[in-house]
Amino acid sequence: MARRATALDSSLKTFFIGACVRVFPGVFKRWAAEQGDRPGVVVEELDALSPDKHPAAGEDPADDVVGMARVKDCLDTMKPVTRELAGRILLLDETQEDAGRALDLTERAVEGHFYRLRATARQRDDGRRGPLSKKRGGT
């Protein structure tokens, strides 16, 4: 199988969006259709976004599955408002200020949502590493 250079050069944003589209294709198609004539939204191109054609797809399908599962786990643990904010920022390319304004939130409140999301993710990662990887206190 030929190696695709684009897979290695893809940004985290590209991988995240690709994983979201593959996990929730119906939701994304419905959203894209609602956008109407909005520039940059082409619903027909979503059908060409199969896992083996996506630029964020790696050489090993197992890696792609694990990556998509991690994105889905992250989305499942997000509060609905945080998920909405992330979608607006990533999919609509809005700023935090614009995304917040659409939901009647200040930019500071938007920052707070993402701060709590990162803190929760850090705690979850610390728990996965187990007690042996944590620094030991002296007692």
* pLDDT tens, residue order, the chain (139 aa): 343 444 455 566 666 777 777 777 777 677 766 766 554 444 444 444 455 555 555 667 777 777 788 878 888 888 999 988 988 888 888 899 999 999 999 999 999 999 999 898 888 877 766 555 555 444 4
Q: Give the C-alpha separation, 6 to 16, whole Å.
A: 15
pTM score > 0.75 for this model?
A: no
Q: How many domains does the chain have?
A: 2
Final residue in a domain of this structure, among 59, 89, 106:
59
Specify whether 55 is located in the same domain as 92. Answer: no
Chain-centroid distance, C-alpha 92: 13
Q: Specify if 107 maps to a domain.
A: yes
Domain hosting 24: range is 1-59
- Owner of token pair 């985290």: 12
As given in the structure block, the two tokens for residue 102 are 């659409």
pLDDT value, residue 2: 41
- Calculate Rg over the CA atoms of the chain: 18
pLDDT of residue 131: 57
Letter for the amino acid at 137? Answer: G
Do the domain assignments include residue 88?
Answer: yes
* Both tokens assigned to 94: 């809005």
135 is a domain residue:
no
Same domain, yes or no, for 47 and 84? no
Residue 40 lies in a domain: yes
Is 72 within the bounds of a domain? no
Short-list 123, 114, 121, CA closest to 82: 114
Which residue do the tokens 């090993």 mark? 60
Kindly state whether residues 86 and 47 are assigned to the same domain.
no
Q: Which two tokens stand for residue 60?
A: 């090993």
Q: Are residues 102 and 49 in the same domain?
A: no
3-state secondary structure of 4: coil
pLDDT at site 9 = 54
- Residue 84, domain member (yes or no): yes
